[in-house]
Structure formats: C-alpha cells, structure tokens
Structure 1
C-alpha cells in the first residue's frame, strides 16, 4: 500500500466525506483507509454514510466502532429508557433515525420507567446497519501505530482493555499515554486538545498521540491524515 489514511468522526456528513476522499485522491487499490468511528448522529445523512462505509470496507478499508455506534447499539438492543434517551434525545440519534425515512412520529417513545416502550420502527435498512456496526472492531495495531476511536488506557495492555474504554476514554489517555507507538484517534475535537475553539486542525501531542477529530458536524472540518507521509487533507 502506498499510504495509510485515517478519518474519524464523520457524523452523518456525507458530502464532507466524499469531498475529503476526493481531496486526498484516495485509491482503494493503492491506499489503506482507516475509519475510526462515529459515522452517525447529529449530521443529516447517517444512513447514507453507513452505506458508503460498508462499501469502503468491501474495498478493503479498516473500519472501527465509535462511541456513537455504541450508543446506537445500546439503545436499539437493550430497549431501555436511559439508553434510548442518551442516544436519541441527547446525542443526535434522532437525526440518524430520520435519515432512514422515518418521521418524528415514528420515533416517539412512550411512557417512562416500567411503562417505557420504544417505538416500532419499520426500516429493514436500519436493522441491517445495526448488525454492521455490531460487527466492527475497536482498535487496529500496526508496527508503528495504534488506531482507535477514543484512546487507550495507559494502565492496561491494549488487548486487555475493555471495548468501552477504547471508545470513550479521554483525559487519562490524553495526559497519561507514554507508549512508543503513535496513537491516532478521534472522539475528542482537536479544538479542545489545542485549547483553541477556532483550531480544528490535527493535534500532535508530545506524548505520541495524534487527534484527528476536526469537529466537522459542529462547524469545524473533516480531517484525513496520511500517516505514511505526515500529510493532512481537510474539508470544511
């Protein structure tokens, strides 16, 4: 492969993703694409993004699970009020469900507590996509890099770390990682890592961490990092 290219936190921004892959001149037969998760929620085209991600994986892309896929799985499989509200009400899952052609009335849950009932959603593609995100890995390790959505636990061996940690960890990883391999991750907007709300560029930590979540769905940018050559592509 000529290049390894990493992208993270697409969040339903289909137009940005397609423009970014074009800007990077991504070629499936020559480049290794690594997608770090958070394909859904908040943006307008989550269903369409997942369709494209599935196609990209068939072409050879490495595809990881993000915390928003975790939220989706928990909401749709546990059918619990807390999980449903955490995804649909607070984290943009409503935008994901609407992208499947459902209407607001179709995604209204009923009742609270013991009386809570999820809506019955007639969308075969939604359930097909649920199976897809359930099948995704949580990290990929090469000779020089670790690719992960949230980060790694500095106190645990990578292969012993709970998947939840790999998708959700923030500060302990940002401040405590001291490994030799570079960790490429998303999840935390780079504006937070830079300490500058206007700086959405890739973040290079002094402790071998590289954050690439440019906050695209919040008005920032979608980044693609060519880790082979140290080149960054982005679209706004």
Structure 2
C-alpha cells in the first residue's frame, strides 16, 4: 500500500489519467489524496470530476479536498456575481465541458460533490490542504481560516504548529525543478502544483504526484488536446 498526493488538475483529464494509471499505477488498496482545483482553465472540468467520482465508486481509497477554483465554481452556481474568471476562454471551456450556458445550470450532483469537499485533511505524518496556512496564527485558529486555506500564496512554515507533521499543498504554480528540490530536501512544506494546465510554459506544464512514504516525485507532462490558454504571466 502506498500513499500519494497530487493537486491542481484544472480540467486536464488525460494527463491525470496517465499519471494515475501509467506513471504511479494506482491500485485500489493505495491511498490517493487530491488537494483541489479540479475545474477551470483546462479543457475537461466535468471529465475530471466524473473520473474522480468513478474511482471512489470503484472502491479506490481517494480523498479529495476543496480548492479555490472549485469553491468559486460552486459560488457561481449559487448566483455569486462577484466571481472573477481568468478569461472568457476559461469561462467557456468550463461551462462547455458541463454542456451548459450558465454556472447555475451545472448538474446538481457535481455541485453536491464540491460542496461536500473538506478544506483540509490529516494523515499520519502529514497535513494536507489546498493552499496553506497562516502560521502567524495559533494552531487552532489557523485551522479555522477557510479563506486562507484556499487562497494563501506565501507562508513561512512553522513545525511547532503542526504537531511534527509536514504540510503538502498546491495552489501556486511552481517550476518542476523547484518542486524536485523541495522533495529531495524533504522540506517541512512542499507545494505540488507544477502548473499542468499551462501547457506552453516550459518551466511548468506538468502534473505532479508525490509518494508520501517513499518521498518519490512523479511528473506527468500535459498531454491534453489543444485548448486556448496562454503562457502563465
């Protein structure tokens, strides 16, 4: 049995399937932790949700966390008018994958699934979260700050606030070489978002999975069909 973490799929279904089925060869007895951002930006948001839901139905041990893009999609479906989409193409790609014209028309089963996603999850040795924590706060308080857990971009890891556990998160696209260095050094906090959706960016365009026990990083290049997205920044 192995434990894996991955994150920030952003509609890249083919890349996700190849990572799990061909690279790490996920088995039903393994544990898979997906740290959020299943939707938006990429070509097949609905397909990613369907695939993850089917893995669970087939008996795979999978825990999915909430990401900021998942949270924003849920808010949009509830009529939140202040939602900011990355671009018109992003908006259309996401809604087209669900076969709808408006976020409010996304089928209810997807919205229920997103609504039930936890913000964080603890396993022996690790704290898992989408973006991170504000380590300036006392432990009990930092673990109640839902907005921070979804959105924080920078933080200074403090092992005294984690009970000795390491933090694994996503959210901030990071060059693959930097993530490889974090894993090799066994940092107390590891960011696994290698920007898979940014298919034109040579420093990114990978989906990463970390074997938490073997401390081994797997990198799957983006293999999606063409879709309209530019280089990051």
TM class by smaller structure: 0.7 to 0.9
Alignment partner, residue 24 of structure 2 = 24
Please tell me whether the aligned partners of residues 41 and 94 of structure 1 are also in contact (alpha carbons under 8 angstroms): no
In structure 2, do the counterparts of structure 1 residues 120 and 26 end up closer, same or farther at CA, with 3 Å as the change threshold?
Answer: closer
Q: Equivalent of 1:138, from 119, 122, 141?
A: 119
List aligned pairs for 1:111-150, cutoff 5 A: 121=105, 123=106, 126-150=107-131
TM-score (norm 2): 0.80
In structure 2, do the counterparts of structure 1 residues 150 and 55 end up closer, same or farther at CA, with 3 Å as the change threshold?
Answer: same
In structure 2, do the counterparts of structure 1 residues 182 and 66 end up closer, same or farther at CA, with 3 Å as the change threshold?
Answer: same
Alignment partner, residue 165 of structure 2 = 181
Q: Which has the higher helix share?
A: 1
Structure number, greater radius of gyration: 1
Alignment partner, residue 13 of structure 1 = 12
Alignment partner, residue 169 of structure 1 = 152
Q: Which runs of 5+ in 2 are unaligned?
A: 200-204, 222-233
Please report how far the alpha carbon of residue 153 of structure 1 lies from its aligned counterpart in structure 2 after TM superposition: 2.0
In structure 2, do the counterparts of structure 1 residues 231 and 91 end up closer, same or farther at CA, with 3 Å as the change threshold?
Answer: farther
Q: Equivalent of 1:157, from 139, 145, 153?
A: 139
In structure 2, do the counterparts of structure 1 residues 184 and 120 end up closer, same or farther at CA, with 3 Å as the change threshold?
Answer: closer
Q: Which runs of 5+ in 1 are unaligned?
A: 108-118, 192-197
In structure 2, do the counterparts of structure 1 residues 96 and 3 end up closer, same or farther at CA, with 3 Å as the change threshold?
Answer: same
Measure the CA separation in 2 of the matches of 1:181 and 1:131.
31
In structure 2, do the counterparts of structure 1 residues 200 and 127 end up closer, same or farther at CA, with 3 Å as the change threshold?
Answer: farther
Please report how far the alpha carbon of residue 202 of structure 1 lies from its aligned counterpart in structure 2 after TM superposition: 4.1
**1:214 partnered with 2:198:** no
Please report how far the alpha carbon of residue 93 of structure 1 lies from its aligned counterpart in structure 2 after TM superposition: 3.8
